[in-house]
Amino acid sequence: MDLHRRRSVLVRMSEDGQKLATARITNSPARLTAEIGRAGLHPKVVLEACYGWYWAADALAAAGAEVHLAHPLGVKAFACRRVKNDELDARDLADLLRMGRLAEAWIAPPEIRELREITRYRCKLVHIRTSCKDQVHGVLAKLGIQVTCPDIFGAWGTQWLDELPLPQPYSWKVASLRQLIGWLSSEVTVLEQVTADLLAGHDGYRAVQELPGIGPVPGSRSTGSATSPASAIRPGCPRGPG
């Protein structure tokens, strides 16, 4: 199956590699379920771990299919072919699965995906907040203002910034960035608490924090990977995005 955002292509093949049918569908769980029903009971289906694969994997599993998730790095060579189209991509995925050469990624269960969604979102907000702080430092550097405290966003630094006379438009920009930093910090705090509540009874979450330098936030990121079954990690195949 070659999955795209709005439409997908499914190529049905026999065990010996003979193409049986090709279908092009508009993406929806109902349409995918109806199409996969034509392949018989418990068909083997492979799709790449690409943009928005969750719904397709869940719909296929609910329809009784044996779902395999191709790791993007394992099919990177597809881009080097002279002829590349959706049908060829779907066919090559099926061939790799049929021949036992598919580099598979672990299909994380819904609860792990939800945890990853929260931790990844927190990570994204922290990156944005860091960018805002860097921009404040950049404004001060443009104006030749020497920073005399180690953290201008701490208690003493906040007071220092409040009393710092800046010309326009720099004063407005710094005020706007500081407001964004405050909003982002509030959201990051909420996400950290949500993550801690979700993992309060998780043995792995507590155990990983015993390692030097690992706190609650890095521990939550490690927990999602540590819960993947050993059978999902195959020699030479990265575990991949889930």
Q: How confident is the model at residue 24 (pLDDT cuts 50, 70, 90)?
A: very high
| pLDDT of amino acid 230 | 42
Distance CA 9, CA 94 (A): 12
Average pLDDT of the chain is 87
| pLDDT of amino acid 231 | 40
Q: How confident is the model at residue 218 (pLDDT cuts 50, 70, 90)?
A: low
Q: How confident is the model at residue 123 (pLDDT cuts 50, 70, 90)?
A: very high
pLDDT tens digits along 72-101:
888 877 666 777 788 988 999 999 999 999
**What is the mean predicted confidence (pLDDT) over 207-234?**
61
Distance CA 103, CA 123 (A): 28
Q: Say whether the peptide bond before residue 235 is cis (omega within 30 degrees of 0).
A: no
Q: How confident is the model at residue 235 (pLDDT cuts 50, 70, 90)?
A: very low
| pLDDT of amino acid 237 | 43
| pLDDT of amino acid 74 | 84
**What is the mean predicted confidence (pLDDT) over 169-188?**
96
Among 3, 60, 4, 68, which Cα is nearest to 35's? Answer: 60
**What is the mean predicted confidence (pLDDT) over 93-110?**
92
pLDDT tens digits along 180-206:
999 999 999 999 999 888 888 888 877
| pLDDT of amino acid 222 | 60
**What is the mean predicted confidence (pLDDT) over 155-170?**
92
| pLDDT of amino acid 150 | 85
Helix (H, G, I), strand (E, B) or coil at 72: helix
| Strand segments (E) across the chain | 7-13, 19-26, 44-48, 66-70, 104-105
Pairing assessment for the beta strands 44-48 and 66-70 based on DSSP bridges:
parallel
pLDDT above 50: residue 36: yes
pLDDT above 70: residue 154: yes
Q: What is the DSSP string of 13-69?
A: E-TTS-EEEEEEEES-HHHHHHHHGGG-SS-EEEEES-TT-HHHHHHHHHTT-EEEE
| pLDDT of amino acid 148 | 83
State the Rg of the chain over Cα: 25
- Percent of the chain at pLDDT > 70 equals 87
| pLDDT of amino acid 28 | 95
